[in-house]
Structure 1
């Protein structure tokens, strides 16, 4: 498309809303057309609604709102000076929370949400400088001289990106344009300041790319799309090295268009690729999209945990080398899972390929959901796949603390809030004559030609009932069949309809009539999985999955005396499956046979000799597994996803 051609702007309450000119296979059903009405995710969203309200209190206590008041002259000496508190990116937590408020209002309108939105938006507007610049911490700590002085670490564009995303959400969900006016002034300032023929530089933390494309989609201003293009293409040419920084951490070692995988800081990396995907679809850049498709595939095959978690190194919160996926040292930051969800969703809209729906599902149910408590107000920053029984917390983010209400670096909690409130926007998408259902929940969907009511007990049951509530004639209903769903079936009004091939979509073309019922049945067999042989950290181990859920063994569920650090699983009969309505707000558990190791009678230093000094297997016991997302909601103690597989005779296999 021409850079000066205005887009055809679609309407709808969606965080990623491609224009009609975008090269996508479908457009999302926003929160105005998709609503979760019951079941598993409705419970999580109700908890999330409380979290959004508590979030305002947390931002007050942490000082984020105080910074904005100071910068706007609303407290202290009234002259816009004073002592800022918190990290330089403190404003971004306010903006993510404001975005969460917008999606929550769209989900469940409430006057108290509007009041908080207006109040905080006014603080943000008052803090903005006359030329559009806005970052309260930089303004308070170093004034105009500090602007963009240390872009690798200052997060100035990062904060701007989250403000823009919040502003777009706010106008789409509430109609209030106050924050959008702030965002437009800030974006115009960036357009005037950065670019190939202006200041040639990029921020150390991507997100501005996604935000500028979305602002272009909302306003039709081509300059925002062009600046997003500049920021994507400028990265990877040593700009961070000019500050004396190591470029890999900042995804600045290889240009985006030449990269074959993701590397460096995990959140930065996937925010960048999500923004590049937006750019590719709005500019019709098929070569860039193909490159991003290859990058995602490589990441998924070699740098992603079983849970969909991203980032294996605590050092620099980073991706490691291919297959470097230690379960106990997994970083798997909650924000990285959210960034992965954002990227997978954009790739799904662009390509229509079911593998992106599968990836989205794995990250949602496991990598993302593990980051928030069942109550919705306590969080994990880091999501390991194993916690040893002797683990002691060594710093603020350590999961050995248990779930926490806030963090010194509080990027994850408001990120969870905005994702949870906007979750219905990930269920389905529409194209002319087609409605595609990507994720399953009890919900209502209002496509262009077809309206549906979904009823399901997913993920505990694999049956999804879809009743047609409205039809304007002949259209196609596409239903994703997860790659794990061997033996899936689909019927229309009781008659078998089409092959339900795992890893693809069932496509049902009909002259649909209200009242017709489609039943999709996804067998929830228990799967025992192994890792790629090059993941040496879990070689010889297995993990358990059922449906979309990864399972974990938690200390509190085991028999007295069983130490999870020592157990092995015994090959044998299938796992015993039991739904427990009173456990962890209702979960399905798996029970298998295992064997705890018995410590040697006499301590011997490592290595143990071959003559019997190693631990000796004990008697078989029942071992109980729960969904991974639900661990650490009762106590904080040993947990593991990967468990060594023993042999039937009790010796190591």
Structure 2
């Protein structure tokens, strides 16, 4: 097998193969982690915390509660009666290895990277030793004294676990390893077993939790082996035909009630639905299936328009961890699982690459800042599983060293019985630079163009060629290097500095967020424009040392909800830049919670010189006898300045009530 070079990017992101599929759909291609490095600021700080806090924290917990020991017991034949965790515990070991692999790729061969590489080799040896001769591997099934293989497709998660093992292998391949790597060879044997078992003429089944689909397409991209893409298509075509049977939450829980091509909006379990979308987009891109791409794009666009929270969170029901109906977006009972936010980023990233529509980069930014960044604590060692937009009662501190229920606390917890979110965060943050900068591809690309989607301090070093036509480029590759300096999202000033440039024209496009459209300014010495497409563009023959400054308006702004969202009618939210703000009870006058206040009529947010945002508020009038004869008289008490903080930071100061949407008095 020949392993081709592909680009690393987060959560199984996309890059064209060296020899792309004829007819494949790729508008943009990501730069690799070797070409993009975060240097300082919001996301660089979180990558550092991820490496020093989250990854070792996850490893310690998985060792402590037996998820890694499961593999040793499976190898020894002693797993019966001793399996730790639920059906999918193996997948979190694989996601942790994926995070480690991306982190090794990010930091290279320094001391930290060498230590992680040693750990990957140790874990890989344990996992490989538990693999059956035919490539099957799962610690929960198929061993003496436990259930047989593939006897519980709805909830067994065997194919889901395989998918995450493959994702770990893809991270290894994209960070320079080859088919001899222990993780890669274990995953390849497992993937080949899946193709042999479930391919044409094989077992007619699908897994209850989509994931294998996106993983198999990624494996095809990384290896060039067509059977993996074919198997992904088989799984996609089988879904939606009732193969998983009836379920108490309905077949839509598994996305098994409607074929992918007939669905119109995301339904059922939010993470499952979004993972399936990602797999369908990947398959459509590689097969040149524009009909399927359009169908899934329309599904996601409708989901964004009608079933998504202001934060970018998805999933409005605790029951089934699922989407609700259109505009069913309760703030206090919403689920907004962290993994669903990451899955939404996966979908938006793929649509950005397939279509070039900068709107999807805005979705990614919103979700990263207000869901993904909200989950881990400042030290990276405790996490939100669910991300409500309103908390009515202060939560209790999680008990140190004890497993927490998924949403049983309104404060961050160190670990959960279902701990998909911490390891998902770890792999996303470690690989985030790979989903930050892209280049245009295609037959109509006459001038090399690089797009910066992620507004953070970074170094970019790549190569470009003078003239491209399709996949063939004339002329030798020339170096292009630049860096961004910014304190975004605190400050809206972004400085683009050219470090090295070719002697022919190039185009650099820096994303202007949709909330800044029409108000952003770009200053520079060469041809420039603020385009209607959502980019500030610098183009021409660039010169090393030249600077271009993009100014984004960072005044806080009032956001009004769609009138069909019953839960927040008559309320407002405050945003600043990409950040959703919220009120916490720790900032209120003594005796008040966030349930006791209302915003004064026509009040607007105020930004002080220190960057703090406040809005005029007052205690709300309460109904004494009957709450349905409220006359909207002015609230009681004098007004006060209500501090607002970034939603991602809430809960870091101890138990508190919190709300994003603020009731607005009309008198």
Is residue 498 of structure 1 aligned with residue 529 of structure 2?
yes
Write the distance in 1 (CA, Å) between the matches of 2:176 and 2:225: 22
Partner of 1:436: 451
**Structure 2 partner of 1:375:** 379
Residues 134/579 of structure 1: CA separation in 2 closer, same or farther (3 Å cut): farther
Residue aligning to 1:103: 102
TM superposition shift of 1:447: 3.3
TM-score normalised by L of structure 1: 0.91
Tell me, in whole angstroms, the C-alpha distance in 2 between the residues paired with 1:31 and 1:100: 14
The partner residue of 2:413 within 404, 407, 419 is: 404
Number of residue equivalences: 626
Q: 1:141 and 1:405, CA in 2 relative to 1: closer, same or farther beyond 3 A?
A: farther
Q: Provide closer, same or farther for how the CA distance between residues 399 and 80 of structure 1 changes in structure 2, counting only shifts above 3 A.
A: closer
Structure 2 Cα separation of the partners of residues 270 and 544 of structure 1: 28
Deviation at 1:559, TM superposition (A): 2.4
Q: How does 1:79-118 map to 2 (within 5 A)?
A: 83-109=82-108, 110-118=113-121
Deviation at 1:133, TM superposition (A): 0.5
Question: Conserved in 1, the CA contact under 8 Å of 2:396 and 2:411?
Answer: no
Summarize deviations over 1:266-294 as a string: whole Å, max 9, x none: 00000000111111111111111111111
- 1:239/1:59 Cα in 2 relative to 1: closer, same or farther (>3 Å)? same
Matching residue of 2:662: 643
SS of residue paired to 1:253: coil
The one of 614, 633, 650 equivalent to 1:591 is 614
- Are residues 550 and 199 of structure 1, via their aligned partners in 2, closer, same or farther at CA, if it must alter by over 3 Å? same
The residue number in structure 1 matching 2:597 is 567
Structure 1 518/397 Cα, relative in aligned 2: closer, same or farther at 3 Å?
same
Q: CA-atom RMSD, angstroms?
A: 2.3
- The alpha carbon displacement at 1:79 in A equals 5.8
Q: Which residue of 1 aligns with 2:275?
A: 271
Structure 2: segments with no counterpart, 5+ residues: 399-403, 442-447, 465-479
Question: Is contact 2:277-2:347 (8 Å) kept?
Answer: yes
TM-score by length of 2: 0.90
CA distance in 2, matches of 1:196, 1:227: 9
User: What is the aligned counterpart of 2:288 among 284, 290, 295?
Assistant: 284
Residues 131-188 of structure 1 deviation map (CA, whole Å, 9 limit, x = unaligned): 1111111235754x62110101000000000000001102322526211111111111
Deviation string, structure 1 residues 198-225 (Cα, Å, up to 9, x no partner): 1111000001111001111111111000
> 2 CA distance for matches of 1:236 and 1:81?
34
What does residue range 504-515 of structure 1 map to in structure 2 within 5 Å?
A: 504-515=534-545
After TM superposition, the structure 1 stretch with the greater mean CA deviation from structure 2, 480-489 or 163-172, is: 480-489
Tell me whether 1:476 sits opposite 2:495 in the alignment.
no
- Check if 1:213 corresponds to 2:217: yes
Please show how residues 137-156 of structure 1 align to structure 2 within 5 Å: 137-140=140-143, 143=146, 146-156=148-158
Query: How far did residue 81 of structure 1 move?
Result: 5.2
State how far apart, in whole Å, the 2-side matches of 1:401 and 1:569 are. 24
Distance in 2 of aligned mates of 1:457 and 1:226: 45
Provide the C-alpha distance between the structure 2 equivalents of 1:393 and 1:317, rounded to a whole number of angstroms: 23
Where does residue 12 of structure 1 map in the other structure? Answer: 7
Q: CA 1:611–1:461 in 2, change beyond 3 Å: closer, same or farther?
A: closer
TM-fit CA distance, 1:10: 4.0
Cα shift at 1:486: 3.6
Cα–Cα, structure 1 residues 528 and 82, in superposed 2: closer, same or farther, change >3 Å?
Answer: same
Can you give the 5+ residue segments of structure 1 that lack an aligned partner in the other structure? 1-5, 581-587
Change (3 A) 1:80 1:553: closer
Residue matched to 1:40: 42
Task: Show the counterpart of 2:401.
Answer: none
**Aligned equivalents of 2:425, 2:328: Cα separation in 1:** 26
